[in-house]
Amino acid sequence: MNKIKLIITLLTNFAFYVLGNIIPKNKEVWVFSAWFGQKYNDNPKAFFEYVNKHHCQKIKTVWISKNSKVIQEVKQLGHTVYHEKSLLGIWYQLRAGKVIICQSLHDDLFSPCIGNKTKVIQLWHGIPLKKIMFDAFAENKALKNVFGRFVDYLSPYNEHRNDIVISTSTLTQETLAKAFRIKKEQVFTCGFPRNDIFFEKVNRAENAPFECIYMPTFRGGIASECDLFERYGFDFNTIEKELIKHNIQLTLRMHPVNKPPVQIVEKIKNSAVIKLDAGDDIYQSINQFDCLITDYSSIYFDFLLSNKPIIFAPFDLNEYKQRERSLYFEFEDVTLKPYCYSWDEILERLIQLKNAPIDDEYKNAYSALKDKFHTKPDNCISPFSAKLFSYLDKQ
């Protein structure tokens, strides 16, 4: 019975695939989606909103989602949005001249509808420190039985396809071309649309606190292996007292698996200077922070555009290198020192950055790192989105 259902689904999807390759495409219809169709955020969101704001007279933008809450959210913002398998959702996917994603075609959209004449624009979701895509996961070379080959034959739309991938510099262009197994010429260097936020003016009160955000990377494993607080000397009362004394505010943005111990979470609820952030889109507020604290999260590459200090706290650097996927770069070659290996050292560094000028050695290292991973943006509103739109509009 399961095989019969699978065959029916395969034949239905294959019919859509045939339609997708027959129906003419409209170059002025652009379809967007992100994060398995479950979120409204990241580079597709930023670029979607830019095109809606500045080019809505020319381009018909449609957001596609698999999540009813996301559909309601985008609808309330006044944008066109449909479920991936609704009639209009299917129609726009069949007609789209371009689709814009950040994961993969079959993850973000209803891929059987995306014909070969539709250009797939891969915006991805970060400058990679850890190896990604084909560099991280080898293709499955195992021989399949007759039924397995039959399934593959009827689902060509599940193969990875990216006609254009975007990058942030010559270095990342080469990295992404290799990771996605495409020609270097298919990787367009323009910067990430979500990073336009760093060029927006931030209005701050005269006595506003020095705001910092702690964003460690996701870790797998059991809770004891992922404790980034008590294990490394996070004494809540001491830290809170010092933060108040120096007018510093600390925001913790964690992966749900790696959230702080329950006793710390309870104390944070009543704290005026330490808080948790679990919002869907950190890029709505990332430019508000005066300092980033992280370990191996690739968000620090983006934060370089802020020209604000970054504290690296690789508490478990040796263990992390052994446990996690191999890296594109040696950690020490693409980060900024001094490193902090405990919360006492983080607190000391925060106070130093808040109260004393940044030394020239750090400034020079910061500038060199930024130049390595980012091309100089154009002097305009939303420089990365503007450059990307100008390029795609000619394709």
Check residue 381 and give its pLDDT: 84
Give the pLDDT mean for 1-10.
78
The Cα–Cα gap between 130 and 136 comes to: 8
The confidence band for 198, taking pLDDT boundaries of 50, 70 and 90, is very high
The C-alpha torsion from 213 through 214 and 219 to 225, rounded to 10°, is -150
Lowest mean pLDDT among 15-19, 99-103, 133-137, 240-244: 133-137
Beta strands in 11-131, from DSSP E residues, in sequence order: 26-32, 60-65, 81-83, 96-101, 119-122
* Residue listed under structure tokens 């919360």: 343
Check residue 225 and give its pLDDT: 47
Which are the contacts of 343, defined by CB distance < 8 A and separation ≥ 6? 229, 232, 233, 234, 235, 239
| Type of residue at 285 | S
Check residue 224 and give its pLDDT: 42
Kindly state the tokens that stand for 25: 């495409």
* Residue listed under structure tokens 């510093």: 248
> What rounded mean pLDDT belongs to the chain?
89
More confident residue, 268 or 280: 268
Lowest mean pLDDT among 25-29, 90-94, 324-328: 324-328
Beta strands 210-214 and 187-189: pairing type?
Answer: unpaired
* Whether the Cβ atoms of residue 349 and residue 340 lie closer than 8 Å to each other: yes
Show the DSSP H helices in 32-132 as ranges: 42-54, 68-76, 87-95, 105-108
Give the pLDDT mean for 303-326.
86
Domain with CATH 3.40.50.12580 in the chain: 202-373
The Cα–Cα gap between 197 and 286 comes to: 8
Lowest mean pLDDT among 110-114, 145-149, 238-242, 371-375: 145-149
Residue 5 has pLDDT above 90, yes or no: no
pTM of the model: 0.91
**Which neighbouring-strand residues pair with 99?**
31, 120
Residue 211 has pLDDT above 60, yes or no: yes
Element (H, E) at 166: strand 164-167
Check residue 223 and give its pLDDT: 44
Give the pLDDT mean for 302-321.
91
pLDDT, tens only, 126-143: 998 888 888 877 655 566
Distances (CA, A) of 339 to 87, 295, 366: 54, 9, 14
* Whether the Cβ atoms of residue 303 and residue 286 lie closer than 8 Å to each other: yes
pLDDT, tens only, 34-50: 999 999 999 999 999 99
The confidence band for 203, taking pLDDT boundaries of 50, 70 and 90, is confident
Check residue 10 and give its pLDDT: 83
Residue 389 has pLDDT above 60, yes or no: yes
* Whether the Cβ atoms of residue 290 and residue 204 lie closer than 8 Å to each other: no
Residue 152 has pLDDT above 80, yes or no: no
* Whether the Cβ atoms of residue 43 and residue 168 lie closer than 8 Å to each other: no
Percent of the chain past pLDDT 70, that is, above it, reads 93
The confidence band for 222, taking pLDDT boundaries of 50, 70 and 90, is very low
Among 1-15, 137-151, 201-215, the range with the most confident prediction by mean pLDDT is 201-215
Element (H, E) at 165: strand 164-167
Check residue 1 and give its pLDDT: 54
Kindly state the tokens that stand for 311: 């504290």
Best CATH choice for the domain 202-373 from the list 3.40.1370.10, 3.40.50.12580, 2.40.30.10, 2.40.110.10: 3.40.50.12580
Cis-peptide, bond into residue 338, ω within 30° of zero: yes
Give the pLDDT mean for 206-234.
78
Count of C-beta atoms within a 10 Å radius of residue 174: 13
Best CATH choice for the domain 2-191+381-392 from the list 3.40.50.11820, 3.30.450.20, 3.90.550.10, 3.40.50.12780: 3.40.50.11820
Residue 150 has pLDDT above 80, yes or no: no
The Cα–Cα gap between 142 and 155 comes to: 18
The Cα–Cα gap between 128 and 132 comes to: 7
Domain with CATH 3.40.50.11820 in the chain: 2-191+381-392
| Type of residue at 320 | Y
pLDDT, tens only, 286-307: 999 999 999 988 899 999 999 9
* Whether the Cβ atoms of residue 298 and residue 335 lie closer than 8 Å to each other: no
Residue 67 has pLDDT above 80, yes or no: yes
Edge to edge, the sheet with strand 248-252 lists 274-276, 248-252, 210-214, 291-294, 310-312
* Whether the Cβ atoms of residue 29 and residue 88 lie closer than 8 Å to each other: no
Percent of the chain past pLDDT 90, that is, above it, reads 64
